[in-house]
Amino acid sequence: MPHKFPGLDGAKGLLVLLVVLTHCLPQSMILYFMYFFHMPLFMAISGFLIKVTTFENGYTGYLKRMWSRLILPWIIAWAIFLPYRLNWGPITQLRITDVIYPYYHLWYIPSYLIGSFLCYTIIRWNWKPWILLLITALISVIWYNVYRDNHVPVQNLPLYWLGDKRLFSYLFFFITGFAIRNKMISIKFSLTPVLATLFSAFLLIVLLVYKHESSWIIVWPYMFFNTSLVIFVMIFIAPNNWLQNKILLLINKNSLGIYLYHPLLQTTIYTYIVHDKDQKNITNLTATGVFLAVMLGTLGLIWLLKKWWVTDKYFLGNLKR
């Protein structure tokens, strides 16, 4: 396994664009299929970028390193988006739910920290990675079928105190990325069978969705498709100089700021310009225009935040000037 992975820089930039785009799109089949793969792959890359040596000072030492780079910017973003979470109501309405279930896009950082803790447990207690992979795979399958679209009150859901349930759909892919990076999976993958599995699973998904099959059936090609996609990106794209587009590299470089603050522009545009806050009556063409405006506006905001060391450090997690 090489030490540098230039292909992931472009891949991450592309995925960040897809994250923002999915938040701008209306409910449609395009949105449905985009949600099939972009977050499992994003979580897998996040796990892949964690090395065993990351935890050489224990998990507490890891959290200290992440405090300024990741956790503090997330806390500041949580505070900024708290009025949105409370629907602009008084602070006296704040409940524990608003803390552990923050504004919709902010679920990722807590999920990342939980995923990194599970990676730490593999090293700390010498777990067999395949056991954790099996457990998280089963959790993903159950979540996909039982808790994805249910209307059960959030307080009654299992593992309520761990936050957003989307986390449990993606932990398997996070652990898979970590295991591949650190050579905990001894299987040697060849390009042809990986691509064959990838395309076969995708075609099967399309067929099953078209036939309106149940989630208990669709979840299996979903798991095979995303696992094959993760392997393809980790093994075959990551070590190569593919996707080295200047725009994608720029997006990747500013990925944290884009992730944290793009809903400011998105919500403002849909509320006060498009006049469709819930994005129920817009077309994909309108959504694409909003997406472009959101990206340009967010990059402009990041440019301003970088002008002052205080905002650059605490809002964007940039420790080096």
Q: pTM for the complete prediction?
A: 0.91
> If 0-12 CB within 10 Å is exposed, 13-18 middle and 19+ buried, where does residue 291 land?
buried
Residue 203's domain comprises 6-314
Domain count, the chain: 1
> Is residue 306 domain-resident?
yes
| CA 110 to each of CA 70, 162, 171, 289: distance values in angstroms, whole numbers, following the listed order | 10, 9, 12, 31
> If 0-12 CB within 10 Å is exposed, 13-18 middle and 19+ buried, where does residue 72 land?
middle
> If 0-12 CB within 10 Å is exposed, 13-18 middle and 19+ buried, where does residue 35 land?
middle
pLDDT at 64: 94
Mean per-residue pLDDT pooled into runs of 10, the chain (321 residues): 82 95 90 87 94 92 94 95 87 81 89 92 88 91 77 70 75 94 87 95 93 90 95 93 90 96 96 92 94 97 96 90 57
> Is residue 142 domain-resident?
yes
pLDDT at 188: 85
pLDDT at 186: 78
> Is residue 191 domain-resident?
yes
> Is residue 168 domain-resident?
yes
pLDDT at 35: 84
> Is residue 199 domain-resident?
yes
Tell which residue, 217, 211, 135, 214, has the closest CA to residue 172.
135
> Is residue 321 domain-resident?
no
pLDDT at 165: 66
